[in-house]
Every structure is written in structure tokens, then in C-alpha cells.
Amino acid sequence: MTNRLPRMTCVIGPPAAGKTTLTTYLHNQFHSPVLRPRDAIAFALQQDPGLGSLFARDNRGWVLDPALGLALRITLARLDEPVILEGLPWDAFQLADLHQHTRGELTILRLRAPTAILHQRRSQRMFCATCYPKPATGEATCQSCGGPLTTRADDDHEAFHDRLDTHRSNAAAIQHLAADPRIPAIDLDTDQPASRVATEAFTAIGPSR
């Protein structure tokens, strides 16, 4: 069986849905790089430091959607191996860009979980500044590096609500475009053990190729 990833696998979903856990799993299985919004921005800036002002962050720590789209295009132009995207596409325009870029060889994994579960995970999750974005394990100190664990600033209640709302409105537009039968979109319920979510994802994108 020759399992391989499609040209592009996009893992999207609301904050605390388990995106990093799933992309880490896919990375370990398929050895394809994981690209997150901050990676694309860093790469674009490395290619052209003169773009710096386009990537100014607002008080929520976000860059403008068109700037993120630009960073994505700059990054993808240099990547010609299968890639796993985490938290991307962020909006329907980026999805259209990705569809063009991959000539349709992209699969979307949409993570879903009840809002109450997302809030519960938000209030419990900790992160390690050294190991991030790798999910942190441990109570007060990181089991990987021994550093202190803290909560994420954008996980505070109000910021989290804001991120959830923004995700919902963008997700509706993405869903509309992904309804195009040429774009396979697979829904994964993440209100179950992470290993089951991973198995479902693997079954959905792996063996059939």
C-alpha cells in the first residue's frame, strides 16, 4: 500500500478543536512539512524583508487577511512537495488560491466539536513557550523541556470568543466554496479521543491513494 498525502491537506477548525494535535500526527506519519499562518508570514518576510509593514499585527495579534493570503502564495511558490496546512485556508479567497495552486489536489479536514467542549479545552490547555506549537503535556512544567507552562494570551475568555466568532463566519464562506464537489472536505468529530480522530483522518486521506 503506497500511502501518500494529497498535494495539500488543510486542517481547519475552531480554536481548541485539536488542529495541532492532528497535524503533528499527520507529520509523524507522512513526514510532510506543516505550514501554519505564522510560518508563512515568517517565510514571506525572509524572502522579502521589505514587506514588513504589510504584516503589521492588530491588537489581537492578527495580520490582515489579504496579507496572510500573500504570505501563503509566496511560500507555496517555493514548495513543491506535499504539505499539511494548519489553520489555513483562513477564508474563502485563500481556499480559491490554494485550489488554483494545487490544480485541485487538495483535501480539507474540518474539525468539529461542540462549543462547550471547545471552551472546556480552552480553559484547561497550557502551552510551553519553548516547545510551541508542539502541544504541551504536564501540569505546571513542560514534560519535554522542563520549562514553565502558561496559558495562551489569546485563550483568555474574551479573546477566545472573538476567535470563535471570526472562525465561524469565515468557515461558512469556506464551506460554501468547498461545496464544490471537486474539493473533498471531510468532517471529523473531535469530541472523542485524539487517537480516534487521527485514525479517521488517516482512513479518509491515506489508503485510498
Closer residue to Zn ion (CB): 64 or 129: 129
Distance CA 166, CA 14 (A): 9
CB of 138 to Zn ion, least distance (A): 8
CB of 133 to Zn ion, least distance (A): 11
Closer residue to Zn ion (CB): 102 or 141: 141
Q: Residue written as cell 469565515?
A: 170
Closer residue to Zn ion (CB): 135 or 147: 147
Closer residue to Zn ion (CB): 136 or 183: 136
Closer residue to Zn ion (CB): 51 or 145: 145
Question: Do 13 and 22 touch, CB atoms closer than 8 A?
Answer: no
Residues in the chain: 209
CB of 144 to Zn ion, least distance (A): 4
In a 3-state reduction of DSSP, which class is residue 183? coil
Contacts of 39 (CB under 8 A, 6+ apart): 75
CB of 145 to Zn ion, least distance (A): 3
CB of 149 to Zn ion, least distance (A): 8
Q: Give strand pairing partners of 8.
A: 83, 106
Distance CA 51, CA 64 (A): 13
Instruction: Copy the grid coordinates of residue 200.
Output: 479517521
CB of 88 to Zn ion, least distance (A): 25
In a 3-state reduction of DSSP, which class is residue 144? coil
**Residues in contact with Zn ion by the rule CB under 5 A:** 128, 130-131, 142, 144-145, 147
Contacts of 23 (CB under 8 A, 6+ apart): 11, 34, 84, 86
Closer residue to Zn ion (CB): 104 or 138: 138
Q: Residue written as cell 506549537?
A: 133
